[in-house]
A and B are shown apart, each in its own frame.
Chain A
Amino acid sequence: MGTTDLLISQADRRPMYLQIIEQVRRRIAVGDWPSGYELPSIRALAAGLQVSVITVKRAYLELERDGVIVTRQGRGSCVADSAGLSAGLRHAELDQHLGSAAAVGRSLGLTAEELVARLRDLVAGKDEEQR
């Protein structure tokens, strides 16, 4: 399994780093890259894909922020274990939902503050339900 597993398309107008993130997630979701699998080093991946180092760095940073991968100082990055993975995936899912909510809110003409207040109410309501 090498860097050539990832396919970056020049024709795709989405930013390069997003394509990399998506490809990494797909590999993980499909099972090609199991937990603990060592990702290629940032420079090796950059050379393999012929994209700049800074782009790969950004992709890895976001993947780490989302808990999909874990970076150890001086030892590169590897796929997070299942617990971290699920958390990461669920975080991504949350972002998606929130994004949709924001879009609906905008079309309704709500401001950010109104949207947040709405969310707060809903959270409070859910908490009440759970008690």
Chain B
Amino acid sequence: MERVLGDKRAILILLGPALFVYTAVMLVPIIWSTGYTFTDGNLIKGFTFAGFDNYIKFFRDPTAIDSLWFTVRYAVILTILQVGVGYLLAVLYTFALRRGSALIRTIVFFPTVLPTVAVALLFRRFFEAAPTTGPVNSLFEFLGLSSVDWLGQPGPSFWVIILMDLWRSMGFYAVLLYAGLVDIPEDIIESARIDGASGWKLIRTIVLPLSLPVLLSSIIFSINGTLKVFDTIVALTNGGPGAATTPLTLYMFRTSFNYGEYGYGSTVALMLTALSFLATLFIFRSTRRDLTKG
């Protein structure tokens, strides 16, 4: 039996192809890309050694700092909103709707699977100001407010992006967190009710602490996803107006493929990677500290 389950040749045949593809198309490029950060040039021009120039350039480049700042702001705000609203929905499903929540769960989840580009183009029309007035601005006018050029100004564009991503993702986080909430044993909640806890107090003292693990993994998943945002923004604002809504991913794409700066583009990509590792580490650390305190 050990001979069969430890068959070296079979291990090679079954694991080899996956390991080869993964190594050639992911591991090698990661190292290769890190190598690019010390060079200047591109495929056509050729490459020259540049030392740490790209790193210095990154921290002195106002556009890079702006997109770094945009990425962080977007990731933090959207994470708080999508996990927060998702949690509220999950509480609603679990405690208010109970068994009847299946249909609503399914409907609210649906936008998650819609193609991002389609959703972004839809929202562009939905928030349109000119030449035709979209539903949102029509509603504004109906309420006696003046219509807003949502995607023509930096501030409003930011919030349309956030709103759209919240619309897409809250159903997903609701289901994810719901799975954690239904796992809480019924009798714990019952006995807390008998002790007189209800409503917010019940949630704060019993439900929230017990759902901390699934909440934590949602936050990590969310921050990692939002730091890498690309599709939504390209299709909704294409980084504009100006460069006001350009995340690091899009800035990397521009420097690499529009301006052909492979070295600098790779540096931006590496900064993004470092950022997601640091964010994950930070969340892990801060929650562990809290747990030891409590």
Partners in one complex: no
Could you list which residues of chain B lie within 8 angstroms of chain A, going by C-beta atoms? none
